[in-house]
Structure 1
Amino acid sequence: MKKGLIIIVGIAVIVGIVALTCTATVQTGYTGIVTTFGRVEDVTLEAGFHFKSPFQEIILMDNREQKSTFTTEAFSSDIQQVDITGSINYAINKSTAMNLFKEVGTDYFNKLVYPRMLEITKGVFSKYTAENLVANRQNLSESIRAGMHEELNNYGINVISISIENIDFTDAFTDAVEAKQVAAQKKLQAEIEQSQMTMETQQQAERKRINAEAEANVAKINADADAYALQVRSDAEAEANKKIAESLTEHLIRFNEIKAWDGRLPTYMAGQGTTTLPILNMAEQDKAPAESSTK
């Protein structure tokens, strides 16, 4: 009885071992690569439960999107050292997973992706000056991604994105850039102040010119008004004199002369030749005897 039980248990163990060695499970997001005594079979396994020979091994290749970080040093086109920190997102194609395993193996990131990434990153950075690197970070990332795609596409590795997360320069270069920026800001401020002063000077000159033109216009208007008023008065006086002259008659002249006479005769009267005859003032002579009789 005991011997039979031992046989049954032994058979069960053997069956269990065979079952374990003849089945395999491929997880979702992976591709199964089948090898027989180390030789890669021309077949791949999708996610799920599979039977296999006890002499075969199932190697899993991750098809999910993966992310890895990297750090490296590079030099700009003007020979400035740059410390770079970034990351890469990538995935391998299911259809080419077997060929990638044949050519590179499972450690394809360290053997293929990472070295290519460092090489291309340094090449891209060398095309820019140090001052232009920070401003062109997006262009840097896209250029590296394009270079990586060209290098890795034949291996079935899809480079989804490259991100340049940090760019550090040496302290000496950073200080030089800061000094240059300060100098540029001071220069710009001086130019702005000079421009403002020039503008104010021009505005003052323009205001003076406008005021001078306005004063000249006012003076001209006043002069024209005075001349016009004088002309009007002159015309009025001339017209009045004309009317007065037209209204004078000989009788009116004689009347005005008589009206203006004070009753006195001239003392002398011119005669013929050069003889001047005295004219007696009869009023005064009549007045003299009267005064004598009174005395």
Structure 2
Amino acid sequence: MIITIITIMDCIIRMLALVIYVATTQKSEDNVINVINTARLILLAGIVLVLLITIIAIVPAGHVGVLNTFGVVSEYELQSGLHFKLPWQEVVLFSIKTNELKETADTPSDEGLTVTLEVSILYRIDGTKAGEIFKTVGTNYEQVIIEPTFRSIVRGVTAEYDAKSLYTSQREIVASKITDQLRPKLKERGILIESVLLRSVTLPTQVRNSIERKLVADQEAQQMDFVLAKEQK
């Protein structure tokens, strides 16, 4: 907004300078008066325009606004649309759309192995809690609230499973358990978790190769059992 006001003032000054230049080149008194009146209108229009910019706040769709008056935060949130405010008041915007936070975490498994998880956290802000978030945390709530809480929970959850389970059949269960534990902790802070998606699990190379060899061996054994059972029929 400050940049917009500066731009408008710059245009007004340029226009006034042009009007003054024209006035100094006029020989007729009537023309000089007309030029002066024009300058007054330009100045008045500029003042009105700047005033309108400072007292009007637009909250875009999918956002809420928090009204900040010299550090005093209003008790209510501004919904999307046009709002009037005092020139010295600031409107801080918070998106209430679904956001994706991508996290990479190195966590221990049940055997003490380090497992790297790549996770997507889908969340949104509770529009009725935006003012409280701004007062207690600020606008960097991802770094202050979501990321530390997620890392703490994911370490506790993965420690309950061995590396093979995390790498194969238990991935959806792990993601569901992380979601169930993360949701209530962040809800009380005004952040609503929609889901946690476990995009990939990376194990130490030797462990991964061992698991993959065992999976191949299990599949071959199952196939052999199927063939033998079919031949016996």
- TM-score higher than 0.5: yes
Distance of 1:63 and 1:33 partners within structure 2: 12
Distance of 2:192 and 2:134 partners within structure 1: 15
SS at 1:77's partner residue? coil
SS at 2:64's partner residue? strand
Partner of 1:42: 75
SS at 1:44's partner residue? strand
State the structure with more CA Rg: 1
What pairs with 1:236-247 in structure 2 (closer than 5 Å)?
none
Q: 1:185 to 1:41 in 2, by over 3 A?
A: closer
SS at 1:105's partner residue? coil
Verify: 1:160 aligned to 2:194, yes or no.
yes
Deviations 1:9-33 (A, max 9, x none): 2121111111110111111111110
Q: 1:187 to 1:90 in 2, by over 3 A?
A: closer
Verify: 1:150 aligned to 2:178, yes or no.
no
Distance of 1:51 and 1:160 partners within structure 2: 33
SS at 2:184's partner residue? helix
Deviation at 1:76, TM superposition (A): 0.3
Deviation at 1:181, TM superposition (A): 4.6
Match of 1:78 among 102, 105, 111: 111
User: Which structure is richer in relative contact order (CA contacts within 8 A, separation 6 or more)?
Assistant: 2
Deviations 1:241-280 (A, max 9, x none): xxxxxxxxxxxxxxxxxxxxxxxxxxxxxxxxxxxxxxxx
Match of 1:100 among 117, 133, 147: 133
Deviation at 1:187, TM superposition (A): 7.5
Distance of 2:148 and 2:110 partners within structure 1: 21
Listed as ranges, the gaps of 5+ residues in structure 2 are 1-32
Partner of 1:26: 59
Q: Which amino acid aligns with 1:156?
A: G
Identity %: 28
SS at 1:91's partner residue? strand
Match of 2:45 among 1, 5, 12: 12
Distance of 2:126 and 2:219 partners within structure 1: 52
Q: CA RMSD in A?
A: 2.5
Match of 1:88 among 121, 126, 130: 121
Deviations 1:80-121 (A, max 9, x none): 221111211111111111111111111211221122112211
Q: 1:4 to 1:84 in 2, by over 3 A?
A: same
Q: 1:161 to 1:181 in 2, by over 3 A?
A: closer
Q: Which amino acid aligns with 2:177?
A: S
Deviation at 1:182, TM superposition (A): 5.9
Distance of 2:212 and 2:58 partners within structure 1: 60
SS at 1:135's partner residue? coil
SS at 2:50's partner residue? helix
SS at 2:43's partner residue? helix
Q: 1:164 to 1:4 in 2, by over 3 A?
A: same
Deviation at 1:137, TM superposition (A): 1.0
Distance of 1:139 and 1:84 partners within structure 2: 14
Distance of 1:46 and 1:34 partners within structure 2: 11
Distance of 1:164 and 1:34 partners within structure 2: 37
Bigger CA drift: 179-188 or 62-71?
179-188
SS at 1:155's partner residue? coil
Deviation at 1:141, TM superposition (A): 0.8
Verify: 1:177 aligned to 2:203, yes or no.
no
Deviations 1:36-75 (A, max 9, x none): 1232122321111111100001111111111222111111
